[in-house]
Amino acid sequence: MAGNRTGAVGAHKARVMNRFDLTKRLVGRLKHDEAVIGGIGNANFDLWESGQRPQNFYMLGSMGLAIPIALGTAIAQPQRHVIALEGDGSLLMQLGCLATVAEQAPRNLTIVLWDNGIYQITGGQPTASATTTDLVAIARGAGIARSAWAADEEDFERLFTAALGEGGPTLVAARIDDKPAVGTTERDPVQIRERFMRGLGVRK
């Protein structure tokens, strides 16, 4: 990440944005069959509604697995860029994965954090990141030096595009509002897995 891309703003100066809007901007930047792993709930609901791609995987049921799945995919297919979309509550449940990402250091992995400060899908209970915890600081402390808050929508697009181009691992964090996801992913885990494996060229 060049110049001020490593952290122009802290968590509480970042503009509060909308997850579906940012997801559409992110999908619009994909040009090379990148794999995208949507975390449980809203992260994958908005990914689903942004246009289904065979390279998308939609995690159902388990919090905190988008990043571990993306890490495994990135290691298995080093020529393909892999993106994990994860909520703050889910990441807080699986913080250790940041250390593993930093230690493995796959250049083709980008983590996008949707931080709304709540466990939205279960009723909006506040997470620690609403008040005391800065997940970008934690990611940097884990060893992911290229971790930054997006100051606004344009900054988010710049950070994400740089992550695709410059090599990672990278974490781009966005503060987001409490608007619900715009749709719901089709809940068929076998279909989701098979389509993803075909999309990655590992299943006929």
Ligand X SMILES: Cc1ncc(C[n+]2csc(CCOP(=O)(O)OP(=O)(O)O)c2C)c(N)n1
Q: Which residues bind ligand X (CB under 6 A)?
A: 40-42, 61, 63, 87-90, 116, 118-122
**Nearer to ligand X (CB atom), residue 117 or residue 168:** 117
Q: How far is the CB of 185 from ligand X (least distance, A)?
A: 13
CA torsion sign for 37, 151, 135, 118 is negative
Least distance in angstroms from the C-beta of 145 to ligand X: 24
CB of 89 to ligand X, least distance (A): 3
Return the number of the residue (1 or 40) whose C-beta is nearest ligand X.
40
- Quote the least distance from Cβ 42 to ligand X, whole Å: 3
Q: Which is nearer to ligand X, 94 or 108 (CB)?
A: 94
CA-CA-CA-CA torsion for 94, 104, 69, 128, nearest 10 degrees? 20
Residue among 63 and 148 whose Cβ is closer to ligand X: 63
| Residue number of the CB atom closest to ligand X | 87
With respect to ligand X, which residue has the nearer C-beta, 46 or 155?
Answer: 46
Which pair of tokens denotes residue 167? 């090599």
Which candidate, 190, 185, 171, places its Cα nearest to that of 40? Answer: 185
Tell me the CA end-to-end span of the chain in Å, nearest whole number. Answer: 37
d(CA 22, CA 17): 8
Contact status, residue 47 vs residue 85, Cβ threshold 8 Å: yes
Q: Distance between CA 164 and CA 110 in Å, rounded?
A: 7
Min CB(38)–ligand X separation in Å: 11
